Amino acid sequence: MKVLIYNEFVHESHEGPAKDMYPRGMHMAISEGLQKIDDSLEFSYATLEDHKDVITKEKLADTDVLVWWGHMRHHLVDDDVVTLICEAVNQGMGLVVLHSGHESKVFRRLMGTRCGVEWYERQDHGRIWILDPTHPIAQGVPNPLEIEAEETYAEPFTVPTPDELIGVTWWQGGEIFRGMSVYHRGFGKIFYFHPGHETLPSYYNPGVIRAIDNGIHYVAPRVRVDEVTSHHIEPHEPKY
Amino acid sequence: MKVLIYNEFVHESHEGPAKDMYPRGMHMAISEGLQKIDDSLEFSYATLEDHKDVITKEKLADTDVLVWWGHMRHHLVDDDVVTLICEAVNQGMGLVVLHSGHESKVFRRLMGTRCGVEWYERQDHGRIWILDPTHPIAQGVPNPLEIEAEETYAEPFTVPTPDELIGVTWWQGGEIFRGMSVYHRGFGKIFYFHPGHETLPSYYNPGVIRAIDNGIHYVAPRVRVDEVTSHHIEPHEPKY
Amino acid sequence: MKVLIYNEFVHESHEGPAKDMYPRGMHMAISEGLQKIDDSLEFSYATLEDHKDVITKEKLADTDVLVWWGHMRHHLVDDDVVTLICEAVNQGMGLVVLHSGHESKVFRRLMGTRCGVEWYERQDHGRIWILDPTHPIAQGVPNPLEIEAEETYAEPFTVPTPDELIGVTWWQGGEIFRGMSVYHRGFGKIFYFHPGHETLPSYYNPGVIRAIDNGIHYVAPRVRVDEVTSHHIEPHEPKY
Amino acid sequence: MKVLIYNEFVHESHEGPAKDMYPRGMHMAISEGLQKIDDSLEFSYATLEDHKDVITKEKLADTDVLVWWGHMRHHLVDDDVVTLICEAVNQGMGLVVLHSGHESKVFRRLMGTRCGVEWYERQDHGRIWILDPTHPIAQGVPNPLEIEAEETYAEPFTVPTPDELIGVTWWQGGEIFRGMSVYHRGFGKIFYFHPGHETLPSYYNPGVIRAIDNGIHYVAPRVRVDEVTSHHIEPHEPKY
């Protein structure tokens, strides 16, 4: 299973609380967490700085699941790379979108909506309640999954109705959030999962890592096609 | 109820079978059909030729429902106009996408998928079966709705799972198609309805016109906002 | 619009906190609240004591929407009456299920599941967040809808995935609940809405009453049939 | 994987076309077909005649997936057995409902609807179009799956909207049918699949057998609980 992690890697590349929390970057914290519980994953990485070189059509064709963390520099992500990624998802590549990736160009283009949230940053306690304990992504994840401190993302979350609503987060401050969902787009699946503020320890939380690991396996491609388009057919002659 | 009909208006603007079928253009055939059964609609029109002048931010703000018919010239529709339309839908404007509009930039951007179909053109008989006879769009529409001759659009239709699957079409040639569906995007709703090949008489079919009329009313905005975005809030202070 | 309210009417028929809160019974508090904002509703009533006499096949055929409140005496509701109600819903009658009605025979039979909740009674504050501000049931309802004190119902709520998930409740105690949902069954629709503990003032809350009023209109029948069954047909000869 | 097949076994137990087609009964034809492609399944059987003895609470607790074929004798199935089965499904047991099982007590009780179809018997050609080629149940199943001759089941099919609509059948006679769907009920999943008239060879069709095999694996329990009910909890103390 080939997993490519994109991390904007701006916050943690400078001295400050993000680097204090994730000294080698969030991408490394995520992959190290995953490697402890799952030896089937083979990782590679991209950052804002090198993403145009790394995330090529060939690389995406050789990637099972792309994991995306971005925040303040969404606008600097190259539009052609975004197009390649959205095509790859529609052809079957899996995508895991974390935290502030909800406003990334990739996620917004795949959703067709603004993907806005109400938010504040108070390090509130969050508690993710699993609605479907039988879902593959929920296996081994505590119910509820306690997040000791997080940035609060709240409804209305302007996304389409999720194809699979796995969990809803309760917030100490009084809000709720559909922050653990799966969307289907073409031959691909997308897992959105909200924990992961850059100065908070969510990626050291074993339940969070378990959910990300389950999510990677869940969105991994079962069927992958080279192209999705319209086809002129003769009657009774399907293409997929 | 202010309805703006976009018609590419290339096929019917030249001598040939499309002009023979729809001498004043498909947009006029649609609006004339609607006016016979519904005097609450006020129409305006845009074509490929004038769409950049007509479809402005101000015009969209003053439009309840946009109806879209395009075919061979999707690529010539201005990208900034597409952006304005997608924003307007997310803010609450209704959208009705007809026939080959499934591959329009507008529809594809709102869906996040390729929106491809399998297709052939043999003037086959189609029969639209209503799955939910209680749906507002189905009221007064015969079940099944017989389409005497149409271009065949068939599955796999690479769209997200519809939020509301109203009808599925049976084709004489042996295919089926989810061609009567509603999708929700932000504060807006989109009705996709497949009849309407440029050389065939579907827009003179009273059941087709009834469904389009019902669709216009169904996707008309109940709530409309000036902007959809993320908001920084204080706890307990929602924006919508 | 003919609305029949069933209220178990055991708690409030004896001296105690329920009678103190709802001296004439919850059914009367609900109908009085609704009448203040909606003069289109014509009410009749049934209680556990008289339900076998009142809720007949003829009465149901003359009812647009049945509102159901029951709690400790679900098991005493007559099975034949339950069968009649479930048939009427499948034929198009609307149903509004309130609070502890989630465990009523009627609701459980229509859902096909146990409809269990996690619960405690501490008069906690609840806050219902509207996920879809454009939904007809949300119109005029504050977002969030604050419930000053309620019995806590929490996930996992063992119901099928709602056809329309309108609101999710945040609880002071740390839980969440899908307590504002619509389910479709046959030609009928069911609105489940969780506020309404017998000793607490939720039915004096204008937002709660507004949601119930909207819900009644939303589930009211658009199409109603005399019977739902299988039909032997000739090809091309549908029955609905 | 322990699979229990219930077959009414009335048609094929007497001389006639059903026995000619399935000499040892449809249950044996199904299990023999499955065994050829999947050696992980361990079968046991029940028929109308012995179902009260075989389908006990203990047997269901030791069954991963129950496969159900019934037709003219639905009314003779014991109500207590039906109750046990519905409880087992809600606790996590998988269920595969075939063909005329759509009107079985078990399926109707789990759906909460009448589960009626329009039907005729003309041995028409059916063609099952897969809507989601990535679904686990679709793997290895031809798209379309051609059914050379079947009893026609047609819309409106009065079931709830499927949680997962995998395939829709095109019929030679002019109808369509949502005959390949998954429903979730509590901790259990139900796969409905329409082929299987007693005098026609569908259970010798490798694509049909492949879909049933995939369906068995898809609905097999991932999580199973001893009881589904409401729980009185202390705050923050979930039960599942």
Q: What is the pLDDT of residue A166?
A: 98
Cα–Cα distance measured from residue A90 to residue B116, given in angstroms and rounded to the nearest whole number: 11
C-alpha closest to that of B194 among B113, B98, B124, B122: B98
Task: Tell me: pLDDT of D233 over 90.
Answer: no
Low-confidence residues in chain C, pLDDT < 50 = none
The set of chains that have 3 or more CB pairs under 8 A with A is B, C, D
Which helix (H) or strand (E) covers residue D198, if one does?
none
Residue A240 binned pLDDT confidence (cut-offs 50, 70, 90): low
Radius of gyration for the alpha carbons in chain A, expressed in angstroms and rounded: 17
Q: Do C175 and A175 touch (CB under 8 A)?
A: no
User: Nearest chain D Cα to C174, which residue?
Assistant: D236
Judged by a CB distance cut-off of 8 A, whether residue C14 touches chain D is no
Cα–Cα distance measured from residue B95 to residue D156, given in angstroms and rounded to the nearest whole number: 27
Q: Is C69 exposed, middle or buried (0-12, 13-18, 19+ CB in 10 A)?
A: buried
Cα–Cα distance measured from residue A154 to residue C90, given in angstroms and rounded to the nearest whole number: 37
Q: Which of A131, A161, A175 sits opposite C170 (nearest CB)?
A: A175
Q: How close is the nearest chain B Cα to the Cα of D130, in Å?
A: 7
Q: Which of A129, A133, A161 sits opposite C176 (nearest CB)?
A: A129
Task: Tell me: pLDDT of D236 over 70.
Answer: no
Backbone angles phi, psi at C108, to 5 degrees: -65, -40
Q: Is A79 exposed, middle or buried (0-12, 13-18, 19+ CB in 10 A)?
A: exposed
Cα–Cα distance measured from residue D239 to residue D233, given in angstroms and rounded to the nearest whole number: 8
Q: How close is the nearest chain C Cα to the Cα of A157, in Å?
A: 8
Q: Do B174 and D127 touch (CB under 8 A)?
A: yes
Q: Which of B118, B233, B239 sits opposite A233 (nearest CB)?
A: B118
Cα–Cα distance measured from residue B210 to residue B203, given in angstroms and rounded to the nearest whole number: 10
C-alpha closest to that of C115 among A168, A165, D221, D90: D90
Q: What is the pLDDT of residue B231?
A: 84
Distance between alpha carbon C163 and the CA centroid of its chain, in Å?
15
Q: Which of A156, A170, A171 sits opposite C175 (nearest CB)?
A: A170
**Comparing D103 with B234, which gets the higher pLDDT?**
D103
Q: Please list every residue in chain C whose beta carbon sits closer than 8 Å to the beta carbon of residue A155.
A: 129-131, 168
Q: Please list every residue in chain D whose beta carbon sits closer than 8 Å to the beta carbon of residue C75.
A: none
Which helix (H) or strand (E) covers residue A156, if one does?
none
Q: Please list every residue in chain B whose beta carbon sits closer than 8 Å to the beta carbon of residue D155.
A: 129-131, 168
Q: Which tokens in the block code for residue D82? A: 């039906």
Q: Please list every residue in chain C whose beta carbon sits closer than 8 Å to the beta carbon of residue A169.
A: 176
Digit-coded pLDDT (tens) for A8-56: 999 999 999 999 999 999 999 999 999 999 999 999 999 999 999 999 9
CB atoms within 10 A of CB B79: 9
Stated length of chain B: 240
Digit-coded pLDDT (tens) for D110-119: 999 999 999 9
Q: What is the pLDDT of residue A81?
A: 98
How many CB pairs below 8 A link B and C?
38
Cα–Cα distance measured from residue D23 to residue C224, given in angstroms and rounded to the nearest whole number: 45
Q: Which of C127, C134, C238 sits opposite B222 (nearest CB)?
A: C134
Contacts of B92 (CB under 8 A, 6+ apart): B186, B187, B188, B221, B222, B223, B224, B225, C134
C-alpha closest to that of B6 among B105, B125, B90, B124: B105
Residue B171: C-alpha distances to residues C178, D168, D223 (Å)? 40, 13, 42
Residue D128 binned pLDDT confidence (cut-offs 50, 70, 90): very high
Q: List the beta bridge partners of residue D119.
A: C232, D153
Task: Tell me: pLDDT of D141 over 90.
Answer: yes
Q: What ipTM score was computed for the predicted complex, to two decimals?
A: 0.95
Q: Please list every residue in chain A whose beta carbon sits closer than 8 Å to the beta carbon of residue C171.
A: 170
Q: Which tokens in the block code for residue C173? A: 């105690």
How many CB pairs below 8 A link C and D?
117
CB distance D197 to D150 below 8 Å: yes
Residue D238 binned pLDDT confidence (cut-offs 50, 70, 90): low
CB distance D223 to A134 below 8 Å: yes
**Comparing A204 with C226, which gets the higher pLDDT?**
A204
Contacts of B69 (CB under 8 A, 6+ apart): B5, B6, B7, B8, B26, B27, B30, B98, B99, B100, B101, B196
Helix (H, G, I), strand (E, B) or coil at A60: helix
Digit-coded pLDDT (tens) for D142-196: 999 999 999 999 999 999 999 999 999 999 999 999 999 999 999 999 999 999 9
Cα–Cα distance measured from residue C6 to residue C96, given in angstroms and rounded to the nearest whole number: 10
Judged by phi (left if over 0) then psi (alpha if -120 to 50, else beta), residue D189 lies in: beta
Q: Judge if the upstream peptide bond of residue B221 is cis by omega within 30 degrees of 0.
A: no
CB atoms within 10 A of CB D225: 17
CB distance B221 to C135 below 8 Å: no
The set of chains that have 3 or more CB pairs under 8 A with B is A, C, D
Which helix (H) or strand (E) covers residue D168, if one does?
strand D164-171
Digit-coded pLDDT (tens) for C114-171: 999 999 999 999 999 999 999 999 999 999 999 999 999 999 999 999 999 999 999 9
Cα–Cα distance measured from residue C131 to residue C115, given in angstroms and rounded to the nearest whole number: 22
| DSSP output for chain B | -EEEEEE--SGGGSSSHHHHH-TT-HHHHHHHHHHHH-TT-EEEEEETTTHHHHS-HHHHHT-SEEEEE--TTGGGS-HHHHHHHHHHHHTT-EEEEEGGGGGSHHHHHHHTS----EEEEEEEEEEEEES-TTSGGGTT--SSEEEEEEEEEES---SPPPSEEEEEEEETTS-EEEEEEEEEETTEEEEEE----TTSGGGG-HHHHHHHHHHHHHHS-SS--S----EE--TT----
CB distance C50 to C8 below 8 Å: no
Q: Please list every residue in chain C whose beta carbon sits closer than 8 Å to the beta carbon of residue D235.
A: 120, 122, 152, 173-175
C-alpha closest to that of C103 among D232, D239, D91, D230: D230
Which helix (H) or strand (E) covers residue C95, if one does?
strand C94-98
Digit-coded pLDDT (tens) for A56-65: 999 999 999 9
**Comparing D125 with C228, which gets the higher pLDDT?**
D125
Q: What is the pLDDT of residue C145?
A: 97
Radius of gyration for the alpha carbons in chain B, expressed in angstroms and rounded: 17
What is the rounded end-to-end Cα distance, in angstroms, of chain D? 24
Cα–Cα distance measured from residue D78 to residue D99, given in angstroms and rounded to the nearest whole number: 20
CB distance D179 to D119 below 8 Å: no
Cα–Cα distance measured from residue C107 to residue D48, given in angstroms and rounded to the nearest whole number: 30
User: Nearest chain B Cα to A189, which residue?
Assistant: B160
CB distance B157 to B165 below 8 Å: no
Q: Do C174 and D235 touch (CB under 8 A)?
A: yes
Q: How close is the nearest chain A Cα to the Cα of C146, in Å?
A: 11
Q: What is the pLDDT of residue B227?
A: 86
On average, the pLDDT of chain D sits at: 96
Q: Which of C111, C173, C187 sits opposite D235 (nearest CB)?
A: C173
Q: Please list every residue in chain A whose beta carbon sits closer than 8 Å to the beta carbon of residue C131.
A: 155-156, 178
β A2-7/A42-47 pair status: parallel
| pTM across the whole model | 0.97
Question: In the block, which residue shows the tokens 């080959």?
Answer: B100
User: Nearest chain B Cα to A124, which residue?
Assistant: B235
Judged by a CB distance cut-off of 8 A, whether residue A226 touches chain B is no
Percent of chain A residues past pLDDT 70, beyond the cut: 98
Q: What is the pLDDT of residue C233?
A: 81
| DSSP output for A133-152 | TTSGGGTT--SSEEEEEEEE
CB distance D64 to D189 below 8 Å: no
| DSSP output for C156-206 | ---SPPPSEEEEEEEETTS-EEEEEEEEEETTEEEEEE----TTSGGGG-H
Task: Tell me: pLDDT of D239 over 60.
Answer: no
In the DSSP assignment, the letter for residue D112 is T
User: Nearest chain B Cα to D175, which residue?
Assistant: B170
Question: In the block, which residue shows the tokens 């010239």?
Answer: B73
Q: Which tokens in the block code for residue D234? A: 């202390």
Per-residue pLDDT of chain B (240 residues; tens, 9 = 90+): 999 999 999 999 999 999 999 999 999 999 999 999 999 999 999 999 999 999 999 999 999 999 999 999 999 999 999 999 999 999 999 999 999 999 999 999 999 999 999 999 999 999 999 999 999 999 999 999 999 999 999 999 999 999 999 999 999 999 999 999 999 999 999 999 999 999 999 999 999 999 999 999 999 999 999 988 888 887 766 555
User: Nearest chain D Cα to C237, which residue?
Assistant: D118
Digit-coded pLDDT (tens) for C88-98: 999 999 999 99
| DSSP output for A87-131 | HHHHHT-EEEEEGGGGGSHHHHHHHTS----EEEEEEEEEEEEES
